[in-house]
């Protein structure tokens, strides 16, 4: 089956990543699912073009990336990825693992504020 937004190989890789989430991703996913705020409809490991963002709310065009320490060494790649996603109309929020593990309420506050800002733009 051909997927419009990505390749079959990347679609399969996204499925694998959903099975191997990091502790920070698992924690954030639990909160995103529990806070079905503003009808965001988040998906895990949602492939878009050549990239697989950690979390995506397609209807709201919001992506959330969970960055571990390896992202300190790949800032150029992350910037390229963000540019691609923004070019396709997405807003990208990035959080470090430590932020999620130590201050999930603060992280959720930023996400809910971003979703609230979007709903205000539509009205």
* pLDDT reported for residue 66: 95
Q: From its phi and psi, is residue 69 left (phi > 0), alpha (psi between -120 and 50) or beta?
A: alpha
| CATH code for the structural domain at 8-122 | 3.40.960.10
* pLDDT reported for residue 74: 72
* pLDDT reported for residue 82: 94
Stated pTM of the model? 0.78
Print burial letters for 31-59: b (CB count within 10 Å at least 16), e (below 16): ebeeeebbebebebbbbbeebbbbbbbee
Q: In what order do the strands lie in the sheet with 55-57?
A: 43-44, 55-57, 62-67, 91-96
* pLDDT reported for residue 123: 37
Residues 68-77: pLDDT tens digits? 865 456 788 8
* pLDDT reported for residue 120: 41
Instruction: Take residue 71 and report the two structure tokens written for it.
Output: 């992202």
| Domain residue spans of the chain | 8-122
Query: Phi then psi for 83, rounded to 5 degrees?
Result: -60, -45
* pLDDT reported for residue 101: 96
**Tens-level pLDDT at each residue, the chain (123 residues):** 445 666 666 666 666 776 788 999 999 999 998 766 567 889 998 889 899 999 999 999 999 999 886 545 678 888 999 999 999 999 999 999 999 999 999 999 999 999 985 444 443
Please identify which residue in the block is written with the tokens 């571990």: 68
Separation between Cα atoms, residue 83 and residue 87, nearest integer Å: 6
């Amino acid at each position: 089956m051909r997927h419009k937004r990505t390749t079959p190989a990347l679609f399969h890789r996204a499925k694998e990543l959903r099975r191997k989430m990091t502790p920070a991703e698992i924690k954030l996913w639990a909160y995103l699912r529990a806070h079905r705020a503003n009808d965001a409809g988040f998906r895990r490991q949602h492939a878009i073009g050549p990239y697989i963002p950690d979390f995506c709310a397609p209807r709201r065009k919001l992506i959330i990336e969970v960055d571990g320490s390896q992202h300190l060494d790949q800032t150029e790649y992350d910037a390229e990825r963000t540019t691609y996603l923004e070019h396709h109309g997405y807003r990208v929020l990035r959080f470090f693992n430590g932020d999620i593990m130590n201050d999930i309420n603060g992280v959720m506050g930023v996400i809910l504020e971003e979703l609230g800002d979007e709903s205000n733009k539509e009205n």
